[in-house]
Amino acid sequence: MKVLGLILAGEKGKGLGKLTAKRASAAVPIGGKYRAIDFTLSNMVRAGIKKVGVLTQYNPRSLMDHLGSGREWDLDRKRGGLYILQPYVSESDQYWYRGTADAIYQNMTLLRRGSEDYVLIGSGDHIFSFDFNALYDYHMTSMADITVMTKSIEGYDPKLYGVVKTNDEGRIVKFEEKPPNPDGDKISLGMYFVNKKMLMDLLYTAASNGGYDFVNEIIVANLDMLRIMSYEFTGYWRNAKKSVSEYKKINMDMLNREVSRELFYQNGKIFTKLKDLAPPKITSTGSVKNSIVADGSIISGKVEDSVVFRNVEIRSGAVVKDSIILENSVIEEGAKLNNCILDKNVTIRSERVYKGYDEPLIFEKWQIM
Amino acid sequence: MTDVVAMILAGGQGKRLGILTENIAKPAVPFGGKYRIIDFTLSNCTNSSFYIVGVLTQYKPRVLSKHLGIGRDWDLDRKQGGLSILSPYAASSKGEWYKGTAHAIYQNMDFIDQFSPKYVLVLSGDHVYNMDYNEMLDFHISKRSEATIACIQVPIKDASRFGTIITDNTSHVIDFEEKPNHPRSRLVSMGIYLFNWKMLRSFLIEDANDPDSMHDFGKNVIPKMLLKNRYMYAYDFDGYWRDVGTIHSFWSTNLELTHSMPALNLYDPNWRFYTHSEEMPPAFFGRNSKIVNSLVSEGCTVYGDVEGSVLFQGVKVGEGSLVKNSVIMTNVNIGQNCHLENAVVSESVIVKDGASIGIGEYVENVEQPDIYNHGISVIGEKTIIASGAQIGKNCSVGNFLDMEKMNVKILESGHNLRER
């Protein structure tokens, strides 16, 4: 089966505040060394997808730097490979992507040219590990026109997600975006599997009607006409761009061994950009409890219930609790952090004390406190 | 640098590393939490911008060749130059193994000639060091030298293990003695030579035609050059350099990295060491774990105590276990309530619950005291240590053994366990 992967990675992710001031939400750092997009990208590659298009728009610099030629995901290929699809100016029009359907529509050439029969649409913000082969199988056996990945609504705020109602055989009969009074017991995970020719037809129709949104134009508008099925995913799944506390929760979930095993081992590896840093070092004054520490870091202080990214220095006497410390940050002697998120290259001077209360305290890139 | 070809000698077995080099060449022996020994020489080449590199392999090259690939991890996958693996080959008249270090270069003269270099840098893939070869090249050029030998100072009592060099006060080499019984100098060769290629070429041909020669740089070629009064200088290197040729030096050089401010800085952003490593999530430390003075690589999960040790990628340490002053290689799984001290544990070993290694009386190794000494016990790769097993000091347990199937629970200090 030949499948084209498309990853929507153009959003800012307003919910993440300062964390997405200078990067797209698909590029937010996760779990010590990854970025959000690594998960969907690795899932696709592991399922044998050889051609992946990444649709970017909002401040893509750090995302582009991360993806490079796609080599870390085995996508630097002579056949297929990684395509970065940015908004562009042409003779006839010059628009930013006006919505998810429009973003794909504007890159119709990629769909038209390839020899793929199916398209898998994912998002750069999703943190999960899944073997997409199960989705293909379901799509085939259920004779679906479009298959939407869903999950039980339990544990998710319906006001932040699309809510799906299905009939007995799993066909979607109702799909509401962020409803105040949800009618349905599943949320949509924003991942779609569809026949390529059909998708092209649907996109042309939507565009000629002036519709730009994928959910409204492709899914909701066709619930009666097409057989749109729901494939229910039961594993760990989170959306990194929903809110700061959700972002923190995802990172802290990595400390849970069950979650970590499911994400990083069960279905194969999650690939990311390699940095060739030395193994982390814990010195004579250092102590690390219930935490993860990435390569290149030197820990001389106390770290507890925290996620420490690459190349971080935590000096002696410093105490880091319940916090996320992104790459290249330095926490000097005697400083104390509790419930904080430090973006990259932050320096906390010695003896400073910071504590986040209801919401974690966020320090912006290159801040020196 | 396009006028230098670097040739890395990586064919050695490293006999004194015992079971560690039973299946892999010494340059491929893991080191420092995620590296292999050859990474240091290769990274020095890249960091010095020497991008034409030949790696000469011979002894058990499988792991080494896989590790090197096309050289991409060291930025050596190039359209011009780059990394080439040079193995012994068969020619129309006869096929030959490399008979010595000089013969290995002689056999690959064609390879060097295609770049028409001015200089050839001969390196060894056996050493752990950081060195900017440009400084040596500058020295070579400014002295109008034809052959330059990189040297370090060692205590006079150790000098007899090396090639010693006697110089005048301008660093001009007057005499060279390979492993002398009564060394006359503290200056010893690091096995790093920089030659003018034209000159070296003629000496290699002469040496190859000499039936009495052992085809070794230190024993034959260098003395011949001196005899013919070629300009030879000693480049006095004062940086970090370690020969990790014995179990003890391998173990102690690894553990040195866990000290504060070690002589070898792996964290220097201007002098990175590159390697080929597997993708693994960051290290995880459990709530009751206690870790001090240690390197703990990606993919590790630690629930027990780790002290003064180097843990490679993917190592698991179960609850209640203590790992002290040990080198634990990739994907070793240590169960609960184990006790490891002064151990070197090879890749993918399983240490079952309650086992102990390196505990007991100090007894010299019965068979090979020259290899297994200093109380260090060595476990071979993919071996299974039975639950509750007790392994003493100065022991070795061979590669691919299953102590449970062999029905062995106790290995007394100073003994080796092999396949029967």
- Of all residues in chain B, what percent are helix, strand and coil, respectively (each to 5)? 20, 30, 50
Contact call for residues A312 and B267 (beta carbons, < 8 A):
no
Q: Of how many residues is chain A composed?
A: 369
User: Residue B272: its chain A contacts at CB < 8 A?
Assistant: 276-277
Q: Pick B283's closest partner by Cβ from A264, A271, A280.
A: A280
Look at the alpha carbons of B380, B37, B164, B55 in this order and tell me if their dihedral is positive or negative. Answer: positive
Contact call for residues B345 and B357 (beta carbons, < 8 A):
yes
Rounded Cα distance between A83 and A71, Å, is 12
Quick check: is A147 in a domain? yes
Interface residue of A72, A270, A295 to substitute, partner B, most B CBs within 10 Å: A295
State the pLDDT at residue A87.
84
| Long-range Cβ contact pairs of B268-274 (< 8 A, separation 24 or more) | B271/B43, B271/B47, B271/B130, B272/A276, B272/A277, B272/B43, B272/B47, B273/A276, B273/A278, B273/B32, B273/B35, B273/B39, B273/B40, B273/B43, B273/B130, B274/A276, B274/B39, B274/B42, B274/B43, B274/B46, B274/B73, B274/B74, B274/B75
Residue of A nearest to B255 (CA): A281
Write down which residue in A233, A266, A299 finishes a domain: A266
Contact call for residues A254 and A307 (beta carbons, < 8 A):
yes
Q: Is the pLDDT of residue B52 over 90?
A: yes
Which residues, 6 or more positions from B284, have their beta carbon under 8 angstroms from its beta carbon?
Answer: A255, A257, A260, A291, A292, B300, B301, B302
Quick check: is A237 in a domain? yes
Cβ–Cβ below 8 Å for B281 and A33: yes
Cβ–Cβ below 8 Å for B296 and A293: yes
User: Residue A289: its chain B contacts at CB < 8 A?
Assistant: 285-289
Interface contact A258, partner B, CB < 8 A = no
Q: Of how many residues is chain B composed?
A: 420
Residue of A nearest to B292 (CA): A284
Contact call for residues B7 and B112 (beta carbons, < 8 A):
yes
Q: Is the pLDDT of residue B94 over 80?
A: no
Q: How far is CA B42 from the centre of its chain?
A: 12
How far B261 CA sits from the closest chain A CA (Å)? 10
State the pLDDT at residue B289.
95
Whether A256 and A286 map to the same domain: the answer is no
Rounded Cα distance between A147 and A133, Å, is 13
Whether A205 and A69 map to the same domain: the answer is yes
Rounded Cα distance between A145 and A139, Å, is 8
Phi, psi of B334, deg, nearest 5: -105, 125
State the pLDDT at residue A161.
92
Task: Read off the pLDDT of each residue in B71-88 and give the average, rounded to a whole number.
Answer: 91
Interface residue of A127, A272, A276 to substitute, partner B, most B CBs within 10 Å: A276
Quick check: is A352 in a domain? yes
Determine the structural domain holding residue A355 and report its residue range. 281-363
A4: which strand partners? Answer: A51, A119
Query: How many domains does chain A divide into?
Result: 2
Residues of chain A under the 70 pLDDT cut: none
Whether A159 and A42 map to the same domain: the answer is yes
DSSP letter for B281, please: P
Cβ–Cβ below 8 Å for A279 and B297: yes
Whether A17 and A61 map to the same domain: the answer is yes
Which residues, 6 or more positions from B130, have their beta carbon under 8 angstroms from its beta carbon?
Answer: B40, B43, B44, B47, B239, B240, B264, B265, B271, B273
Residue of B nearest to A301 (CA): B292
CATH of the domain at A329: 2.160.10.10
Interface contact A288, partner B, CB < 8 A = yes
Q: Is the pLDDT of residue B113 over 70?
A: yes
Whether A187 and A236 map to the same domain: the answer is yes
Rounded Cα distance between B136 and B143, Å, is 11
Mean pLDDT of chain B: 93
- DSSP letter for each residue of A132-181: THHHHHHHHHTT-SEEEEEEESTTS-GGGSEEEEE-TTSBEEEEEES-SS
Chain B residues with a Cβ under 8 Å from any Cβ in chain A:
32-34, 73, 257-258, 260, 266-267, 272-275, 277, 279-298, 301, 310-312
Q: Please give the angle made by the CA atoms of B123, B191 and B23, to the nearest 5 degrees.
A: 70
- DSSP letter for each residue of A241-285: TS-HHHHHHHHHHTTSHHHHHIIIIIT-PPP-----PPPPEE-TT
Whether A231 and A315 map to the same domain: the answer is no
Contact call for residues B5 and B382 (beta carbons, < 8 A):
no
Contact call for residues A54 and A124 (beta carbons, < 8 A):
yes
Cβ–Cβ below 8 Å for B284 and A276: no
How far B38 CA sits from the closest chain A CA (Å)? 15
Which residues, 6 or more positions from B103, have their beta carbon under 8 angstroms from its beta carbon?
Answer: B207, B208, B215
Nearest to B7 by CA among B174, B116, B124, B100: B124
Quick check: is A369 in a domain? no
pTM (predicted TM-score): 0.90
Quick check: is A271 in a domain? no
CATH of the domain at A186: 3.90.550.10
DSSP letter for A216, please: I
Interface residue of A38, A282, A330 to substitute, partner B, most B CBs within 10 Å: A282
Cβ–Cβ below 8 Å for A279 and B293: no
Cβ–Cβ below 8 Å for B293 and A282: yes
Write down which residue in A266, A294, A328 finishes a domain: A266
Whether A290 and A249 map to the same domain: the answer is no
Quick check: is A274 in a domain? no
How far B345 CA sits from the closest chain A CA (Å)? 18
Whether A68 and A19 map to the same domain: the answer is yes
Query: What ipTM was predicted for this assembly?
Result: 0.85
Q: Which two tokens stand for residue A159?
A: 């006001």
Rounded Cα distance between A99 and A286, Å, is 49
Which residues, 6 or more positions from A265, have their beta carbon under 8 angstroms from its beta carbon?
Answer: none
User: Residue B289: its chain A contacts at CB < 8 A?
Assistant: 288-289
User: Residue B287: its chain A contacts at CB < 8 A?
Assistant: 289-290
Task: Read off the pLDDT of each residue in B294-304 and give the average, rounded to a whole number.
Answer: 96
Residue of B nearest to A281 (CA): B295
How far B337 CA sits from the closest chain A CA (Å)? 19
Whether A217 and A158 map to the same domain: the answer is yes
pLDDT band, residue B1 (cuts 50/70/90): low
For chain A, helix (H) and strand (E) counts, in that order, are 9, 28
User: Residue A269: its chain B contacts at CB < 8 A?
Assistant: 279-280
B73: which strand partners? Answer: none
Quick check: is A321 in a domain? yes
| Long-range Cβ contact pairs of B297-306 (< 8 A, separation 24 or more) | B297/A279, B297/A280, B297/A295, B297/B33, B297/B34, B298/A33, B298/A279, B298/A294, B298/A295, B298/B34, B301/A257, B304/B334, B304/B336, B304/B338
Whether A245 and A139 map to the same domain: the answer is yes
DSSP letter for B341, please: E
Contact call for residues B321 and A72 (beta carbons, < 8 A):
no
Nearest to A25 by CA among A213, A236, A310, A242: A242
User: How does strand B4-9 pair with strand B52-56?
Assistant: parallel
Quick check: is A26 in a domain? yes
Task: Calculate Rg over the CA atoms of chain B.
Answer: 22
Interface contact A302, partner B, CB < 8 A = no
Which ranges in B216-346 belong to alpha helices (H)? 222-227, 247-256
- Count chain A–chain B contacts defined by CB atoms under 8 A: 110
Cβ–Cβ below 8 Å for B311 and A279: yes
Whether A74 and A210 map to the same domain: the answer is yes
Write down which residue in A237, A266, A295 finishes a domain: A266
Rounded Cα distance between A322 and A338, Å, is 6
Look at the alpha carbons of B71, B77, B78, B79 in this order and tell me if their dihedral is positive or negative. Answer: positive
Residue of A nearest to B293 (CA): A283
Whether A120 and A229 map to the same domain: the answer is yes
Interface contact A274, partner B, CB < 8 A = yes
Cβ–Cβ below 8 Å for B290 and A277: no
How far B35 CA sits from the closest chain A CA (Å)? 9
| Residue B197: burial class (beta carbons within 10 Å; 0-12, 13-18, 19+) | buried
**3 state DSSP class of A198:** helix
